[in-house]
Amino acid sequence: MADAEQTHETIDAMSWESRRFPPPVEFARHALVADTSMYDEAAEDDEGFWARQAADLVTWATPWTTICNWDLPYATWFVGGQLNVAYNCLDRHVEAGLGHRVAFHWEGEPGDRRTITYADLLDEVQRFANVLRGLGVQRGDRVNIYLPMVPEAAVAMLACARIGAAHSVVFGGFSSHSLADRINDAEAKVLVTADGGYRRGEVFPLKPAADEALTSTPSIEHVVVVRRGGNEVTMVDGRDHWYHDLIAAADPVCPAEPMDSEQLLYLLYTSGTTGKPKGIMHTSGGYLVQAAFTHKFVFDLHPETDVYWCTADVGWVTGHSYIVYGPLANGATSVMYEGVPNFPGNDRFWSIIEQYGVTKFYTAPTAIRTFMKWGDAEPAKHDLSSLKVLGSVGEPINPEAWMWYHEHIGGGRCPVVDTWWQTETGAMMISPLPGATTTKPGSATFPLPGISAELVDDHGQPIRHGGGYLTLTRPWPSMMRGIWGDPDRYLRTYWSQYPGRYFAGDGAKLDDDGYLWLLGRVDDVMNVSGHRISTTEVESSLVAHPAVAEAAVVGANDATTGQAIIAYVILRSGATVDEQALRTHVGQDIGNIAKPKTIYFTPDLPKTRSGKIMRRLLRDVAEGRNLGDTTTLADSSVVAELQRRAGEAPSED
Ligand code: PRX
């Protein structure tokens, strides 16, 4: 980690450390947890603690025989136990007489609405589970899901869980190329997609992108297409089927069969430090326990009265754990919204909160900073007095954004829970409990009960104060079970840096009171608007363009998106291409989220004498910092030239 960055952060944070927000007395009075007893209980016996949560929060068809089997780097949880995840999310609530409870208040971007009760959802999931079976999907098979934010995404996921197939959801913003890579890695049999969806007032086509992917995905036997956008699509006879036709003809009963606790629930692809995305594996029992536990206690859930809204897309892990599995396991009522926050106006989110009386709200710092830019007047137009807890996830939240969120959205009365976790951890790991934890703006505070986190220095020695690398020292129920098809990479990436520890890839520091402050990634992963993108992936895409000889990509600090993608490109001799064409190329190759914000064309890149690109220098140039030591640089004039170009180049917004 760059020293300069740490010092800067330390100074920044120190000026805020005097601000503390104890849980409001009135809030704590009604909170599920208002003291430290849960932490004490877990500290005494973490496995026993998780076993009690598993018994309280999940219904098991067969009890487990062993709580946790830990054979580093592999853990299995609730071994011998059997459950059905869809049964836990649906049937048991309907059996308890809660079939009329709303599972999702769904709102489309154009303003159309659907109210979906637990009974409705159970009915549709059973039908779709039978549809999948009819298309040849069996326990252990993989199903790819490439959908906009429509309720059918949750239906498809739960239908897979019901029959023991694993889903692999690919965010609808990814390109056909990215979709094809993920389908092929998972060898999925069926693809569930849509004609299109709404975004910023227009229909964006999905099926044409899926069609392009399908030219190179031999494992796919059938494609199910949800009608949403109403846009023209081509259907291939025998392969492509309309969702509504299949559902109408499906048998309405599909009993939930018990699955092994370690049955693969899903794969979710995420970027790492190399070009190839990793298929993160999550299984059933432990994952559901921790998703339900964290959703219940971090949001202080009172399912009878709460209206909960997580603004993530189901294509990311936040959507998996906190739109689908956690909330449904807890019998919560959620809002699900299809579109962007600024259609038709910049107050769309606040109007939704007012409309549905949202009580618990979960969003990302990048969104909060954007709302800040749009101005205080937007939330002020609406009655947000229903809100009780505000959550943040995806990247470090800067104290200014935290304070704005607290004041302008939470009216100064709602605890803010800054939740740190990862696709790999499956569920929240470090976060306040809103009725028990005194928060500090910008700090994720402490590991949750049952979670063991420690900072270490370069030598793997624990640090009790100051900056270090964030590691996890004990297995946790929702931890990833591996990387699909690549056990070596799993061991290498997460468990080899510091023996006996899971290394998360993040830097953090501990203050005088033992509060954790997350400092961002310390590896070659960028965090753009809360989305992980690997520098290598963007570099590979750039050099795949015929005009490009070499490329180096760095994430530079950005006031709105956290980090922005900055690329330095050397063209092949005689070749020409403009910046916009290269940006479009990356957008088509990976997806629009991976488009560099700025591309600098350069005749050379700063390299060490051994030929390694000096990314730290490139980041310094991109962020306009004075350069430190360049003595290891092979040719120091390269940097002077880059700085000159950085001063001249216009930035793309
Ligand atoms: O760098 C951390 C950052 O997001 C990374 C995980 O990204 P992903 O797997 O896409 O999951 C995002 C949603 C859980 C982490 O390694 N991150 C996530 N939450 C926070 C965070 N950084 C600081 N504070 C957070 N609350």
pLDDT digits (tens, 9 = 90+) for 73-96: 999 999 999 999 999 999 999 999
pLDDT band at 630 (very low <50, low <70, confident <90, very high): low
Residue 3 has pLDDT above 70, yes or no: no
DSSP conformation class of 642: H
Q: Is the pLDDT of residue 562 over 70?
A: yes
Q: Is residue 91 part of a domain?
A: no
Which tokens is 188 given?
């999925």
Q: Is the CB of 444 under 6 A from ligand 1?
A: yes
Cβ partners under 8 Å of residue 114, min gap 6: 104, 106, 108, 151
Q: What is the pLDDT of residue 78?
A: 98
pLDDT at 261: 98
> What is the band of 8 on the pLDDT scale with cuts at 50, 70, 90?
very low
Mutate which of 313, 363, 416, 422 for ligand 1? The one with the most ligand atoms within 8 Å of its CB, which is 422
Q: Is 449 in the pocket of ligand 1 (CB under 6 A)?
A: no
Across the range 268-291, mean pLDDT stands at: 92
529 pocket-lining for ligand 1 (C-beta < 6 Å): no
Strand pairing class (202-205; 389-393): unpaired
pTM of the model: 0.91
Q: For residue 386, is it within any domain?
A: no
Return the DSSP state at 414. S
Give the pLDDT band of residue 653 (cuts 50, 70, 90): very low
Q: Which of 271-285, 405-419, 509-523, 634-648 has the lowest mean pLDDT?
A: 634-648
| Tens-place pLDDT, residues 122-161 | 999 999 999 999 999 999 999 999 999 999 999 999 999 9
The one-letter amino acid at 317 = V
Which is more confidently placed, 455 or 611? 455
Please give the C-alpha separations between residue 527 and each of 56, 315, 565, in angstroms, as whole numbers: 36, 16, 9
**pLDDT of the residue at 263:** 98
- pLDDT score, position 647: 72
Going by C-beta distance under 8 Å and a sequence separation of 6 or more, which residues neighbour residue 283? 76, 261, 262, 263, 264, 265, 481
Asked, for residue 563, whether it belongs to a domain, the answer is yes
Domain that holds residue 639: 525-648
Q: Which residue has the tokens 């809204």?
A: 309
Which residue has its alpha carbon closest to ligand 1 atom 24? 396
Across the range 297-303, mean pLDDT stands at: 98
Report the C-alpha gap between 228 and 231 in whole angstroms.
8
Answer whether 326 contacts ligand 1 (Cβ < 6 A).
no
User: What was the pLDDT predicted at 520?
Assistant: 85
581 contacts 548 by C-beta, under 8 angstroms: no
Mean pLDDT of 573-593: 94
Rounded mean pLDDT, 583-592: 94
pLDDT at residue 37 tops 90: yes
- Rounded to 5 degrees, what are φ and ψ at 358? -60, 135
Q: Is 532 in the pocket of ligand 1 (CB under 6 A)?
A: yes
- Tens of pLDDT, residues 309-318: 999 999 999 9
With beta carbons less than 8 A apart as the criterion, state whether 560 and 597 touch: no
- Return the number of other C-beta atoms located less than 10 Å from residue 120's C-beta: 20
For the segment 35-61, the average pLDDT, to the nearest whole number, is 98
Residue 130 belongs to what H/E stretch? helix 118-134
Q: Which of 128, 46, 4 is nearest to 467 (CA)?
A: 4
CATH number at residue 124: 3.40.50.980
Give the separation between CA 341 and CA 529, rounded to whole angstroms: 14
Tell me whether residue 246 is in a domain: yes
Q: How far is CA 15 from CA 240, 442, 512, 533, in A?
A: 59, 11, 14, 31
- What pLDDT score was predicted for residue 444? 98
Taking residues 198-214, what's their average pLDDT? 97
pLDDT of residue 640: 80
Could you tell me which of 395, 391, 394, 393 has the C-alpha nearest to residue 405?
Answer: 391
Give the separation between CA 256 and CA 261, rounded to whole angstroms. Answer: 14
Give the pLDDT confidence score for residue 627 in this predicted structure. 62
Q: Return the structure tokens found at 450.
A: 């049952």
DSSP E strands in 431-513: the ranges are 453-456, 462-463, 466-472, 502-510
Q: What is the pLDDT of residue 606?
A: 85
Cβ-based neighbour number of residue 204 at 10 Å: 15
**Residue in 395, 516, 526 to alter for ligand 1 test, most ligand atoms within 8 A of Cβ:** 395
State the pLDDT confidence band at 276, using cuts at 50, 70 and 90: confident
Degrees to nearest 5, angle at CA 389 with 387 and 392 = 120
Q: Are 322 and 360 in contact (CB under 8 A)?
A: no
With H, G, I as helix, E, B as strand and everything else as coil, classify residue 510: strand
Quickly state the pLDDT bin for 532 (edges 50, 70, 90): confident
Helix (H, G, I), strand (E, B) or coil at 573: coil
Q: Is the pLDDT of residue 264 over 70?
A: yes
**Alpha carbons within 13 A on the beta-carbon side of 150:** 24
CATH number at residue 597: 3.30.300.30
Task: Give mean pLDDT, residues 449-474.
Answer: 95
> Does residue 393 belong to any structural domain of this protein?
no
Tell me whether residue 507 is in a domain: no
Q: Is the peptide bond before 344 cis (omega within 30 degrees of 0)?
A: yes
Contacts of 104 (CB under 8 A, 6+ apart): 114, 115, 116, 121, 151, 154, 333, 334, 335, 336
CA of 234 from ligand 1 middle (Å) equals 38
pLDDT band at 1 (very low <50, low <70, confident <90, very high): very low
The CA distance from 535 to 525, in Å, is 6
Burial of 230 by CB count in 10 Å (0-12 exposed, 13-18 middle, 19+ buried)?
exposed
The pLDDT of residue 633 is 65
How many C-beta atoms surround the C-beta of residue 388 within 10 A? 23
- Tokens in use for 7? 């010092």
- Final residue before a domain boundary, out of 264, 289, 313: 264
Neighbours of 465 (CB within 10 A): 11
Q: What is the mean pLDDT of the chain?
A: 93
Mean pLDDT to the nearest integer, 400-414:
97
Three-state SS at 411: coil
Q: Give me 587's structure tokens.
A: 């957008």
Answer whether 423 contacts ligand 1 (Cβ < 6 A).
Answer: yes
End-to-end CA separation in angstroms for the chain: 28
pLDDT at 612: 74
**Partners of residue 45 on adjacent β-strands:** none
Domain boundary among 264, 299, 329: 264
Look at 206 and 608; give whichever has higher pLDDT.
Answer: 206
Tell me the three state secondary structure of residue 75. strand
| Structural domain includes residue 619 | yes
Q: How far from 361 is each of 299, 386, 419, CA to CA, in Å?
A: 9, 10, 13
Would strands 416-419 and 389-393 be described as parallel, antiparallel, or unpaired? parallel
Report if residue 209 sits inside a domain.
Answer: yes
| Chosen domain end from 239, 264, 289 | 264
Q: Give dist(CA 423, CA 426) in Å, integer.
A: 5
635 φ/ψ angles, rounded to the nearest 5 degrees: -140, 100
Residue 551 pLDDT exceeds 80 = yes
Instruction: Please state the three-class secondary structure of 204-240 as a single string.
Output: EECHHHHHHHHCCCCCCCEEEEECCCCCCCCCCCCCE
420 Cα nearest atom in ligand 1: 26
Name which residue sits closest to atom 12 of ligand 1, judged by CA.
394
CA of 187 to the centre of ligand 1 (A): 28
What pLDDT score does 7 carry?
A: 37
The DSSP result for 93-128, as a single string, is HIIIIITTSEEEEEE-TTS-EEEEEHHHHHHHHHHH
pLDDT cut 70: percent of the chain above it: 95
Residue 627 CB: number of other CB atoms within 10 A? Answer: 16
Counted domains in the chain: 2
Dihedral sign computed on CA atoms, order 99, 103, 105, 109: negative
Residue 550 confidence (pLDDT): 86
Question: Is residue 206 within 8 Å of residue 229, measured between CB atoms?
Answer: yes
For the Cβ of 141 lying below 6 angstroms from any atom of ligand 1, the answer is no
Asked whether residue 649 carries a pLDDT value surpassing 60, the answer given is no
Q: Is the pLDDT of residue 111 over 90?
A: yes
